[in-house]
Amino acid sequence: MSTTTPSLEPARGRSDAPQVHNNYIGGRWVKARSGETFPSVNPANTSEVVGHFAASGPEDVKAAVDAAARAFPTWRRTPPPARADIILRASHILETRKEEIARAMVREMGKVIKEARGDVQEAIDMAKYMAGEGRRLFGHTCPSELPDKFAMAVRAPVGVVGLITPWNFPVAIPSWKMFPALVAGNTVVFKPASDTPLCALMLVEVMIEAGLPPGVLNFVTGSGGKVGMPIVEDPRVRAISVTGSCSVGRQIAGRCGELMKRISCELGGKNAICVMEDADMDLVLEGAVWGAFGTAGQRCTAASRIIVHRDRYKEFLDKFVARTSALKLGYGLEAGVDVGPVINKGQLASVNEYVEIGKKEGARLVCGGKIRDDGELGKGCFHEPTVFADVKPDMRIAQEEIFGPVTAVIPVDSFEQAIEVANGTEFGLSLSMYTRDVNRAFKAMEELESGIVYINAPTIGAEIQLPFGGVKQTGNGHREAGITAVEQFTEWKAIYVDYSGRLQKAQIDTHPAKKAD
Ligand code: NAP
């Protein structure tokens, strides 16, 4: 990360000049203690700076945790429906600011405008859903084994929680964590990805406008090592929720394990679409193009493998390559653009390295394969949508997460083999099956080893009212969204109320042997 130190005076009102943005700690916008900043740039034109952000460090994190810890007792006692009212107001503000935030997202992160609107919409949906949770937060009651005794289990907030988020869904993913954490009564220290601090800041602005009291949400920008890890290390932070790569997730989860700290990880994927011989090919093609190249393949659920029955293999490949070749690469605010840039130069080099690996492994490059360094595209991080054919399931391009516009087409001879190949990676986020045979569809739902299964739809397109997350190396057993959203942010408290007026001993008074004593 570069640590330039431009003027710290905000350049409000000058749309051409990038602004300098601070942390938000204890209800105030404050500079990093170091006084340094880092730039966030437009991946479609890396010479365009979107804004400068606080290059924070452990002292800033400490101040943020101080503020969150101070705010916790009052926020915890605020009735959940009142907490939820603020989140509902946030949904309305997000609706009002949807277009503005989506356009900023295109500039900062590169996804095309219709997808950026979808990203904001996901946060709106989550806000509305979580606002309802303020009047649920269900616990349960159950009978006691003793007379005149009442038994129940209620949810309690965890305390101060740390949220560490990636850049690929820069508003939606923070919302999946922030809204359930807040409605459940936790206070938050939020560290966004260093590639998308502006989008994260806009979400924080929305929460402030919605009426969140000072200290309840604290926002600290800066690197994973200097900000992320100090959040993890602070003993007052009781839970961490991270979405990111497997390597970072393992590092954070390892440390949380040592510290006996709650940790929820949503990590990488190597998702697959399976195409059976009876599939509706037009439907498959639309889904495969969207699944593989939506968000330039930078979705944790991207279809980076397409497993096709040999009876339809040539037909699929010919038509898929034709459609992929027709995709328009460009800046996401321009009309007609289908695929935007990848996030940064490092990712661009990494994607292209995988293309070289694929060629060396003997896969057949049938479409794309190049970095675009010409004309307007040359100013940004553009990689051609790329298709490899005749990929073997054990090749690296079929096993490792590439996180770019590259997909591997793998031929198979049967439904059973398709399932085996689909399940044959260390990841388990999203798998899809295209078939018109209802028996096979149900078999696939049963046999596919992933947190999300689609039938006759691509691997992307999750809705917030269902649990989101994966198995195997994709996560550590938690799920975001849906009825599971509050799990990672609440502790169960079992409560027994004895109204008998005498000491009653569970397991002893009720044991039949007592009668013989
Ligand atoms: P990343 O490099 O792992 O970063 C994720 C977050 O962790 C960022 O905020 C990053 O900060 C921070 N971080 C990095 N090193 C850290 C450390 N040592 N300690 C604490 N925090 C640290 O991931 P990314 O490139 O942003 O996102 C892409 C990855 O996310 C892909 O693997 C994708 O599959 C995964 N993802 C998974 C899901 C899911 O739900 N399963 C959803 C979306 C994305 P900096 O930005 O400052 O480095």
Task: Enumerate the domain spans of the chain.
Answer: 20-137+161-267+475-483, 272-455
Can you tell me the mean pLDDT for 6-25? 64
The mean predicted confidence, pLDDT, of the chain is: 95
Calculate how far, in angstroms, residue 106's C-alpha sits from the geometric centre of ligand 1.
19
pLDDT band at 514 (very low <50, low <70, confident <90, very high): low
Calculate how far, in angstroms, residue 248's C-alpha sits from the geometric centre of ligand 1.
6
- Residue 415: partners with Cβ closer than 8 Å, 6 or more residues away: 276, 309, 435, 440, 443, 444
**Judging by DSSP bridges, how do beta strands 160-164 and 237-243 pair with one another?**
parallel
Q: 245 in ligand 1 pocket by Cβ < 6 Å? A: yes
- Check pLDDT > 90 for residue 16: no
- For residue 1, the model assigns a pLDDT of 38
- Check pLDDT > 50 for residue 2: no
Q: 119 in ligand 1 pocket by Cβ < 6 Å? A: no
Q: 176 in ligand 1 pocket by Cβ < 6 Å? A: no
What digits encode the pLDDT tens for the residues 84-98? 999 999 999 999 999
Can you tell me the mean pLDDT for 31-58? 98
Burial class (CB in 10 A: 0-12, 13-18, 19+), 264: buried
- For residue 510, the model assigns a pLDDT of 81
What digits encode the pLDDT tens for the residues 335-384? 999 999 999 999 999 999 999 999 999 999 999 999 999 999 999 999 99
Task: Please tell me which residue in 300, 367, 384, 480 is annotated as part of the active site.
Answer: 300
Calculate how far, in angstroms, residue 406's C-alpha sits from the geometric centre of ligand 1.
20
Q: Is 300 a catalytic residue?
A: yes
- For residue 3, the model assigns a pLDDT of 38
- Pick the atom of ligand 1 nearest to 244's CA: 30
User: Among 238, 235, 247, 196, which residue's Cα sits nearest to residue 219?
Assistant: 196
| Nearest CA residue ID for atom 16, ligand 1 | 224
pLDDT band at 513 (very low <50, low <70, confident <90, very high): low
Task: Please tell me which residue in 115, 266, 384, 401 is annotated as part of the active site.
Answer: 266
Burial class (CB in 10 A: 0-12, 13-18, 19+), 218: buried
Calculate how far, in angstroms, residue 344's C-alpha sits from the geometric centre of ligand 1.
14
Can you tell me the mean pLDDT for 177-200? 98
Q: What is the CATH number of domain 20-137+161-267+475-483?
A: 3.40.605.10
User: Both tokens of residue 401?
Assistant: 């997460």
Q: For the chain, what percent of residues have pLDDT higher than 90?
A: 95
pTM more than 0.75: yes
- Check pLDDT > 70 for residue 215: yes
Q: What is the CATH number of domain 272-455?
A: 3.40.309.10
Q: 55 in ligand 1 pocket by Cβ < 6 Å? A: no
- Check pLDDT > 50 for residue 8: no
- Pick the atom of ligand 1 nearest to 169's CA: 43
What digits encode the pLDDT tens for the residues 277-311? 999 999 999 999 999 999 999 999 999 999 999 99
- For residue 11, the model assigns a pLDDT of 35
